[in-house]
C-alpha cells in the first residue's frame, strides 16, 4: 500500500511547483505532475496546500534535568509543529566519560515519536577526551558542542583549540556557544553589587559586544584549525558582522539563529518582572534593528539554519526564581512547535524570505551540515517520506492551552499567525492530523549521521 499526496504545491529549496508525491515503504518513490493510485492506496488531497519537507530542528534540549519535556512530550510538540527530525544536545555528567554519557542519552530517547540524533557537549579537555572524540562517528555522532560561557561548561582558548582540532581530524562539526563568559560574569557581579536585579539586566550584562568578541575569537581559532564550525543562536548585528568577516576570509563556518531572535525583542524583558522572567535566554533578546539584520542575513544566505533552542523550564520553581534576581532564572525558552508557523508568518507572509528559503534553512541546510542529506531535509526520490502538508489559507493562534510542550506558559501567547499544519508524515506514516498527534511514542529511529562533507 502506498501513500499518495495529490494536487499539492511542492516546495523545495530550489523550486515551487504543482506535483503529486508517492511514498512506498517509508521512502519517496515518485514525484510527478499526476500520480494515479491503486485500490488499497491512501490518498491525501493537498489542493491549494504546500507540501514541505519535514523540518529538522538542529538545536533542542529535551530530557534535561529540571525541564518539563522528555523525549515523548518534546517530540510530540515537535511533530505537531512540522518537525520530523531533531538533533538534541547531551548534558555532561562528569562522573563518566562523554561516550558513556552519550549511550545513556540514546537510552533516554527511546520514547521519541520522531527520528533523532545527538550533539555531544564537551566541557573538559584532556588526553582521554581528545582520544574519545575520534570514536564519536562510530556512535553515529558527527558534531560536538563547546561553550565559551557558563562556568560549569566553559572551555578556555587553549582547550577550544585542542578540541576543535581533534574534531576536524575526526570529520566532526564543532558547535559553539559564543559569548565571552569571563567578562559577562564580571558584569553580572557588578550589576548585583548595584542591586540591578530586574530581568532586563540579564540583557544588559550580556551585551552584543561580548557575543561579537567571542564569535570573532572562536572563528579565528577555526581559521587556523580549519575545523568546520557552527555558531549557534546568533542574536545580534555585531556578532553577525564578525561571522560574515570570517566567512569572507574563507573560514568554513555556518551560522544559526532562532525564532525568538526574529520575533521577540528586549522589550519583553522590560515587562512586569513576573512576566519578564519568562523571556530570559542566552544570548538575550535583542533589538528590532537586530531582528531586521537577522532576517536580511537569512535572505542573503549568511545564516544557514534556524534552530529552536527549545528549553522547557517550568515557571513555578523555575523561571519565577528570577523575579527578584535575574541570575536565578534558568536560561532558555520553549518553542519547538512554533518554528514553522512563525517563519511562515513573519518571514514568508511579510515578504522577508521566500518559501524556498524557509525550506532551505529549516530542512535542507541542517541536513547537509549535520550529515543527514539526502535521507532527510529534501523531497527527492529515495529520501525519507518526512512531509508536512501546510495550509496557507488558515490561521493558527499560539496559546499555552493548545500547545503540546510541557510548560505552563507560551512565550508567543496569543499571537495569531497565518498558516495551519494539516498533516505531518514521518517515514511515510501520518503522525499528526489536524493538530492531533496520532503517532505512537517510540517509533522514532536513532540516526547515524555521516561525517562532515566539505560540499556542505
Mean pLDDT per block of 10 residues along the chain (456 residues) reads 97 97 98 93 98 98 97 98 98 90 96 98 96 97 98 96 98 98 98 98 98 98 98 98 98 98 98 98 98 98 98 98 98 98 98 98 98 98 98 98 97 98 98 96 98 70
Query: Which pLDDT belongs to residue 454?
Result: 57
DSSP 428: T
Instruction: Cite the DSSP H helix spans in 82-236.
Output: 98-108, 127-133, 157-170, 181-193, 200-204, 208-225
Query: Which pLDDT belongs to residue 455?
Result: 46
Q: What is the pLDDT of residues 167-215, one digit of tens each?
A: 999 999 999 999 999 999 999 999 999 999 999 999 999 999 999 999 9
Structural domains of the chain in order of their starting residue, each with its CATH number: 54-369 (3.20.20.140)
Omega within 30 of 0 (cis) for the link into 283: yes
Look-up of cell digits 552519550: 102
Can you give the C-alpha Rg of the chain in angstroms?
21
Query: Which pLDDT belongs to residue 93?
Result: 87
Look-up of cell digits 518554528: 339
- Asked if residue 408 lies in contact with residue 314, where contact means CB atoms within 8 angstroms, the answer is yes
Whole-number Å distance between alpha carbons of 375 and 378:
8
- The C-alpha cell that represents 428 in the structure block: 511515510
Tell me the helix, strand and coil percentages in the chain, rounded to 5: 35, 25, 40
Query: Which pLDDT belongs to residue 357?
Result: 98
Whole-number Å distance between alpha carbons of 171 and 59:
20
Look-up of cell digits 533589538: 287
Amino acid at each position: 500500500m502506498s501513500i499518495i499526496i495529490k494536487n499539492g504545491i511542492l516546495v523545495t529549496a530550489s523550486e515551487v511547483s504543482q506535483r503529486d508525491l508517492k511514498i512506498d515503504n517509508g521512502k519517496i518513490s515518485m514525484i510527478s505532475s499526476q500520480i494515479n493510485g491503486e485500490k488499497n492506496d491512501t490518498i491525501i488531497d493537498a489542493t491549494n496546500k504546500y507540501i514541505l519537507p519535514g523540518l529538522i530542528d538542529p538545536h533542542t534540549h529535551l530530557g534535561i534535568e529540571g525541564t518539563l519535556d522528555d523525549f515523548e512530550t518534546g517530540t510530540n510538540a515537535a511533530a505537531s509543529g512540522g518537525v520530523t527530525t531533531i538533533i538534541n544536545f547531551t548534558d555532561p555528567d562528569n562522573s563518566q566519560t562523554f561516550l558513556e554519557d552519550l549511550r545513556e542519552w540514546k537510552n533516554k530517547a527511546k520514547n521519541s515519536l520522531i527520528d533523532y540524533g545527538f550533539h555531544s557537549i564537551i566541557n573538559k579537555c584532556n588526553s582521554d577526551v581528545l582520544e574519545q572524540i575520534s570514536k564519536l562517528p562510530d556512535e553515529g555522532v558527527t558534531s560536538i558542542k563547546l561553550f565559551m560561557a557558563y562556568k560549569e561548561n566553559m572551555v578556555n582558548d587553549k582547550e577550544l583549540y585542542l578540541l576543535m582540532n581533534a574534531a576536524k581530524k575526526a570529520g566532526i562539526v564543532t558547535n559553539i556557544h559564543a559569548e565571552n563568559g569571563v567578562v559577562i560574569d564580571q558584569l553580572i557581579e557588578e550589576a548585583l553589587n548595584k542591586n540591578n536585579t530586574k530581568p532586563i539586566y540579564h540583557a544588559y550584562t550580556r551585551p552584543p559586544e561580548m557575543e561579537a568578541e567571542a564569535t570573532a575569537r572562536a572563528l579565528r581559532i577555526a581559521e587556523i584549525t580549519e575545523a568546520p564550525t557552527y555558531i549557534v543562536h546568533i542574536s545580534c548585528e555585531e556578532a553577525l558582522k564578525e561571522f560574515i568577516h570570517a566567512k569572507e576570509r574563507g573560514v568554513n563556518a555556518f551560522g544559526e539563529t532562532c525564532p525568538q531572535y526574529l520575533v521577540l525583542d528586549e522589550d519583553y524583558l522590560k515587562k512586569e518582572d513576573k512576566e519578564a522572567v519568562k523571556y530570559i535566554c542566552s544570548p538575550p533578546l535583542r533589538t528590532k534593528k537586530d531582528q531586521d539584520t537577522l532576517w536580511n542575513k537569512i535572505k542573503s544566505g549568511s545564516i544557514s539554519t534556524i534552530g529552536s533552542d527549545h528549553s522547557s523550564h517550568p515557571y513555578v520553581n523555575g523561571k519565577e526564581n528570577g523575579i527578584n534576581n535575574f541570575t536565578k532564572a534558568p536560561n532558555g525558552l520553549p518553542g519547538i512547535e512554533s518554528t514553522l508557523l512563525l517563519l511562515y508568518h513573519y518571514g514568508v507572509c511579510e515578504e522577508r524570505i521566500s518559501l524556498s528559503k524557509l525550506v532551505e534553512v529549516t530542512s535542507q541546510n541542517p541536513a547537509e551540515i549535520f550529515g543527514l542529506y539526502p535521507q532527510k531535509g529534501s523531497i527527492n526520490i529515495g529520501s525519507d517520506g518526512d512531509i508536512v502538508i501546510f495550509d496557507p489559507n488558515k490561521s493558527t493562534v499560539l496559546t499555552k492551552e493548545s500547545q503540546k510542550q510541557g510548560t505552563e506558559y507560551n512565550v508567543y501567547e496569543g499571537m495569531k499567525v497565518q498558516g495551519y499544519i494539516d498533516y505531518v508524515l514521518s517515514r511515510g506514516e501520518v503522525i499528526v492530523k489536524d493538530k492531533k498527534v496520532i503517532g505512537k511514542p517510540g517509533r522514532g529511529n536513532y540516526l547515524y549521521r555521516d561525517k562532515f562533507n566539505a560540499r556542505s
